[in-house]
Structure 1
Amino acid sequence: MDVLINNVCIIAMGGLKNSTMEDYDKIMSTNMRSVYYLTMLSTPHLIESKGCVVNVSSIASSVPSTMAIAYNVSKAAIDHFRKCAALELGPDGVRVNSVNPGFVKTNFC
């Protein structure tokens, strides 16, 4: 395995006043836990090939908002995970990076 691309996303609109823990758990499980788990499973193969990991995050990770707080938090977690994973895997020759697209008007939300 030369490259792992973690590109996953779900979003639920809402903040602390109008969301549920079920929304939060689903978003964090999909957006962050899956990235952690797949990277963990891929690590031996990436070390062997001196491969790289690319996490697709979002500019929302660093722009506070009340519109989709759990989504923003999940993307911030991915960015911090990237930093930690790069520190751990860098000495083994594995590069870990993120791509943080900006806001684009779509029919997605």
Structure 2
Amino acid sequence: MDFTNKVVIVTGASSGIGASSAILFAKYGAQLTLVGRDENRLGIVAKQCLQANGLQPLCILIDLTGKGACETVITKTIDTYKQIDVLVNCAGKMLIASLFDDTTDVFDELIDINLRVPYKLTHLAVPHLVKTKGNIVNVNTTRNSRVRHGFLAFAITKAGLERFTKSAAVELSTEGVRINSVQPGLTRTNILKNLAMTEEEVKKTYDALSSKMNILEADEVANMVVFMASEACPNLNGAHFGIDGGQTLI
């Protein structure tokens, strides 16, 4: 795989799957726009990318749900590189709430970052992707038939992202632009730590799940993201690749 002279935008690039994907893209020669909210961690990822290919990434420290934020990402990328070849929508959030709680704010927050932001960034990037015959990779979550208490709002956003990917593939294929999604299972990232859970509860969650399946490392998922964005399978479009350590089997 070769991304030399390709421009790749990675959201959620300051940690987890986004960070691992950015570093791997850099190893394959990509010029990068790294988007995140944690300045220190984003700087560390940028340094690793620079060490990988000698190219200084464009770092954009921003809350993507803010007014004009998505426009800023696209505008700064074009101003810097003059093109966009790949958009990786990796930024996302998981929050636990029940219908019996006052969940309106939680629902709106998850809709904003998990669904509205990927849609808007894709919409804004499309004119540039048409020029380069580029593609989009959405980082979703595993298709698990098990329904878990408290994950209603999160599940709705992720189901919406899957449908968005499929529907967008139909529209964009006429212009030579591909869009696919990778659907990882439980991965060792900061996402569980960002929940309203104690360290002991997080550990119990990992222990309970790891007895039944493998927990993924972010680098594994990054391999899939970069593969889907590459020209290895030029007709891969509207696909959803699950990588979950067998989670859907239990």
Under a length normalisation based on structure 1, what TM-score does the superposition of the two structures give? 0.90
1:37-76 to structure 2, matched below 5 A, reads 37-59=120-142, 63-76=146-159
Aligned to 2:186: 103
Distance 1:51 1:62, change over 3 A: farther
Structure 1 position 85 matched with structure 2 position 164? no
Instruction: Tell me, yes or no, if the aligned pair for 2:139 and 2:182 is still in contact at 8 Å.
Output: yes
Distance 1:61 1:83, change over 3 A: farther
Which deviations, in whole Å up to 9, do the C-alpha atoms of 1:39-78 show, x marking residues without a partner? 0000000111100100000015754322221111111111
Out of 77, 101, 104, the position equivalent to 1:18 is 101
Stretches of structure 2 lacking an aligned partner (at least 5 in a row): 1-83, 196-250
Larger Rg: 2
Residue identity opposite 2:163 in structure 1 = H
- Tell me, what secondary structure is at the counterpart of 2:99? coil
Structure 1 position 27 matched with structure 2 position 110? yes
Cα distance in structure 2, aligned partners of 1:54 and 1:74? 16
Cα distance in structure 2, aligned partners of 1:38 and 1:61? 27
Residue identity opposite 1:25 in structure 2 = D
Q: Which sits farther off after the overlay, 18-27 or 81-90?
A: 18-27
RCO comparison, higher one (Cα < 8 Å, 6+): 1
Q: Which sits farther off after the overlay, 36-45 or 99-108?
A: 99-108
The structure 1 segments of at least 4 consecutive aligned residues displaced by more than 4 Å after TM superposition are 60-63
Distance 1:105 1:47, change over 3 A: closer
Cα distance in structure 2, aligned partners of 1:62 and 1:19? 26
Structure 1 position 9 matched with structure 2 position 92? yes
Instruction: Tell me, yes or no, if the aligned pair for 1:60 and 1:75 is still in contact at 8 Å.
Output: no
Q: Which sits farther off after the overlay, 48-57 or 58-67?
A: 58-67
- Tell me, what secondary structure is at the counterpart of 2:138? strand
Which deviations, in whole Å up to 9, do the C-alpha atoms of 1:17-55 show, x marking residues without a partner? 224101100110111000000000000001111001000
Distance 1:19 1:11, change over 3 A: farther
How many equivalent residue pairs? 109
Residue identity opposite 2:131 in structure 1 = E
Cα distance in structure 1, aligned partners of 2:162 and 2:183? 9
Cα distance in structure 2, aligned partners of 1:61 and 1:52? 26
Q: Which sits farther off after the overlay, 51-60 or 11-20?
A: 11-20
